[in-house]
A = this chain, B = another copy of it.
Amino acid sequence: MAFGDIVNGLLTLRERMSWEASLARNAREYSKGVDLVREGDRPAALRIVLSGWAQKYKQLPDGRRQILAVVLPGQLCDLDLFTVARADHSIAAVRRLSIAEINRAEAQRLFDLCPNLAPALSLAEIVGASVQREWTINVGQRNALERVAQLMCEIYVRQHGVPLVGGGACDFLLTQGQMAEATGLTQVHVNRIVQQLRLRCAVQLQNLRLEIPDFAQLAALASFNANYLHLGEVQALAERASPLFSPEVVSRRDYAGGDRCP
């Protein structure tokens, strides 16, 4: 099941209809690089990515920037911003981005209407925190090759919902400059590493697509271990909550067209 389906998987059909109607009603567009939330803002909305990718980031006073997370279609940007008085990080569009912004009042109505919604979002937050920890060890301990390989593995698995066996492809909307900001490297060095990965793993990275002919090999280079994504539990929880709706039925594809198909 796709990572972005956490929410959908946990809802009943009725709940899911309210939820998606609300998403559609509150859709907004942003173009590349534009901030949706700036550190220090008073957060006012619940944001769910519809298509394109968002990035969470923080900046030091002199401009150095760290991308903290990427938010894929179907995912929540920030639940914690709903609890907290001031945003502690910024959120921006990776590329052209379509996103639903649900204000407090409407969110409250939705929570009342859909009792399965809050636990679903809460699980998503917990997985998000786990991913954040993995990113910390990524920039803290892995070398450049491992960091870039790890990023590729994660992005692939989060989109497909299962660690790849053999080869496959997925969307990849980050520029090499953005990959550098995510891995704590420079753009130049990321470029050299990507070239190495092309040689060593035959990885293709172009036109906003990532092709991985041999996932096991790439994962080995990165010491990638998908446990931190908690895929099994997400799936189990989803099935327990609404056994009628298999992941295939409530596919992310319904409303997430991706950046390349406008």
Interface set of A (CB-CB < 8 Å, partner B): 39-40, 56, 58, 60-62, 64-66, 68, 80, 83-86, 88-89, 122-123, 125-126, 128-130, 132-137, 139-142, 183-184, 223, 227-228, 230, 232-233, 236
Instruction: Looking at the assembled complex, report how far the CB atom of A187 sits from the nearest CB atom of chain B, in whole angstroms.
Output: 14
Give the CA-CA distance A58 to B184 in the complex, in Å. 19
Instruction: Looking at the assembled complex, report how far the CB atom of A91 sits from the nearest CB atom of chain B, in whole angstroms.
Output: 12
Q: Assess whether A136 is in contact with B68, with CB atoms less than 8 Å apart.
A: yes
Residue of B65, B129, B142, B227 near A132 (CB, 8 A) is: B129
Q: Assess whether A141 is in contact with B88, with CB atoms less than 8 Å apart.
A: no
User: Which residues in B have their C-beta under 8 angstroms from that of A236?
Assistant: 85
Which single residue of chain B is at the shortest CB-CB distance from A146? B60
Q: Assess whether A64 is in contact with B122, with CB atoms less than 8 Å apart.
A: no
Instruction: Looking at the assembled complex, report how far the CB atom of A151 sits from the nearest CB atom of chain B, in whole angstroms.
Output: 12
Instruction: Given the known inter-chain contacts A80-B129, A84-B233, A88-B230, please indicate yes or no for A141 contacting B64, CB distance below 8 A.
Output: yes
Give the CA-CA distance A62 to B184 in the complex, in Å. 21
Q: Assess whether B136 is in contact with A60, with CB atoms less than 8 Å apart.
A: no
19 CB-based A-B contacts, threshold 8 Å: A56-B133, A60-B137, A60-B142, A61-B223, A64-B141, A66-B136, A68-B136, A68-B137, A84-B130, A85-B230, A85-B233, A88-B134, A89-B130, A125-B129, A132-B133, A136-B136, A136-B139, A139-B184, A140-B184
Instruction: Looking at the assembled complex, report how far the CB atom of A234 sits from the nearest CB atom of chain B, in whole angstroms.
Output: 10
Give the CA-CA distance A233 to B39 in the complex, in Å. 15
Which single residue of chain B is at the shortest CB-CB distance from A132? B132
Q: Assess whether B232 is in contact with A85, with CB atoms less than 8 Å apart.
A: yes
Q: Assess whether B227 is in contact with A60, with CB atoms less than 8 Å apart.
A: no
